Amino acid sequence: IFHSDQGSIYGCNDYRELMKAHDVVPSMSRKGNCHDNAVAESFFSNLKNEVMHERLFASRDEAKAVVNDYIEMYYNRKRLHQTLGYQTPVAKEVEFRVLN
């Protein structure tokens, strides 16, 4: 599932065909309502505030590496999440796999 706002790019046929070709289900917020996906909105706010603000990258590759490290090394493995009962996503996933 790929959640987005109602930007024109997310509604165009080329984009929808690309999503379908990769078996991705589109999901859109209601117009003007950021609360439809508060968790995703919170993630992007955290990413911007904790990593991106006041930072210039030398290249696209550098920016991609920084974002990847933030997500894979910090956000998923070390940062506690209120919505997950103050666990990390990795810990919650392990818990889920054990229970199922």
Pick the closest to residue 72 from 49, 92, 89 (CA basis).
89
State the Cα–Cα distance between residues 51 and 100, nearest whole angstrom.
35
Residues 45 and 86 in one domain: yes
Range of the structural domain that residue 22 is part of: 1-32
State the Cα–Cα distance between residues 7 and 71, nearest whole angstrom.
24
Contact assessment for residue 10 and residue 3, using Cβ atoms and an 8 Å cutoff = no
Mean pLDDT of the chain: 88
Residues 41 and 87 in one domain: yes
> Is this model's pTM higher than 0.85 or not?
no
Residues 42 and 26 in one domain: no
Q: Can you give the C-alpha Rg of the chain in angstroms?
A: 16
Give the pLDDT mean for 62-86. 94
Instruction: pLDDT band for 59, please (50, 70, 90 cuts).
Output: very high
Give the pLDDT mean for 6-21. 88
